[in-house]
Amino acid sequence: MNAIPLVTHHTETLFDSEQMVLSMGPQHPSTHGVLRVILKLDGERVVDLDCDIGYLHRGAEKIFENRLYPMIAPYFDRLDYIAAVSNGLLYVETVEKAMGLEVPPRAQYLRVILTELNRLSSHLLWLATHALDIGGFTVFLYAFREREEILKIFENFFGARLTCHAFRIGGMTYDAYPEFEAQVRAFCDLFPKRLEEYETLLNENRIWLGRTVGIGIISAEDAISLGLTGAPLRGSGVDYDVRKTDPYECYADLEFDIPIGENGDTFDRYLVRMEEMRQSRRIIMQALDRLPDGPVMGKVPKVIRVPAGEVYHSIEGPKGELGLYLVSDGGTKPYRLRMRPASFVNLGALRKMAVGSLVSDVVAVIGSLDIVLGEIDR
């Protein structure tokens, strides 16, 4: 086996008598968790940087190998805890794909609604922390106000606010509660106004433009070769969204557009995500209109055994393409379950984006990548 080191420690070579090495993190207000960025600084200019990850490593992929298939699902909520619903969806869909299970249409629509709500809450958290990193404290609390509305819906639906979990292999554990539709609609009616509020504060703010325009530029070629997905890829002008290229659930029936940036800078990534929120709302409204009646659980064997073989499945998570590679030996436990975390791959572009800029820009770029360390470290 060729062991590919996930982290290359440049620390020894980074030391220099004239340049300063600054260890940013793991305890730093704006590394979004426990990311450690080792910066080599010439004054305030970043000469080189390296990311040190693994502070949140819980050995999730090894744990999966020792659990029965239904037992694995809750672990996925703890990977990207900001987008627990998307992660849960990824897992159940992968197993369904491997077993060839049919999911009832109502469950499909409910899944889409909940996943898109989760995308909204994830993007709102991104907006909040991104603005906070750049110093816009008020946007932080405004975004949290709307996120709270979503979390209330989640609490009613899942019984949890963060580690939401209701997707089962073959459908959903339970149907929506009676007021679900009304509550989601109320939120969707409210949301565009609130989005405009954020944009009033940021879009034409000269300081915001100065801090984001032309910062952390990555070209489309680089973005593709680094494997970026999600807003960092679309911000560079690449039209790629798994919901369109490889539709899962009922996305093929729904109408929505994919926002594409031009310059691949922090500002374009910001714009792409803001527009994605509008499109997510559009998807939710459509799915609510078309929400069919019927059961939410399909026919699933009592004991879940995945036929021997390999399956790769990917969905469009809020942070990019979430992939799951399932190797089964035909038993009740997976032989290997390997995740392609969007945050991890996207973080790989940090060096390309941030070297040559200032310390403040590193913070802005980390914010624009929208990483979650739970997903990176697993």
Q: What residues make contact with other proteins under the rule CB under 8 A?
A: 20, 22, 28-30, 44, 131-138, 141-142, 145, 196, 199, 201-211, 213, 239-241, 243-246, 256-263, 267-268, 271-272, 275, 358-361, 363
Distance CA 210, CA 215 (A): 9
20 vs 63 by CB, closer to other proteins? 20
DSSP code, position 62? H
Q: At what angle do helices 105-134 and 180-202 cross, to 10 degrees?
A: 30
* Shortest reach from residue 347's CB to other proteins, in Å: 18
Helix/strand/coil for 240:
coil
29 vs 330 by CB, closer to other proteins? 29
* Shortest reach from residue 147's CB to other proteins, in Å: 13
Q: Is the dihedral of CA 231, 235, 240, 244 positive or negative?
A: positive
15 vs 177 by CB, closer to other proteins? 15
109 vs 240 by CB, closer to other proteins? 240
244 vs 336 by CB, closer to other proteins? 244
Look up tokens 């979990």; give the residue: 165
35 vs 296 by CB, closer to other proteins? 35
* Shortest reach from residue 214's CB to other proteins, in Å: 8
Q: Is there a contact between 316 and 241 (Cβ–Cβ < 8 Å)?
A: yes
Distance CA 199, CA 203 (A): 5
Pairing between strand 36-42 and 20-24?
A: antiparallel
* Shortest reach from residue 105's CB to other proteins, in Å: 22
* Shortest reach from residue 315's CB to other proteins, in Å: 14
* Shortest reach from residue 123's CB to other proteins, in Å: 14
For 11-18, the CB contacts below 8 A with 24+ separation are: 11/38, 11/50, 14/38, 14/40, 14/48, 14/50, 16/40, 18/42
The H or E element spanning position 193 is: helix 180-202
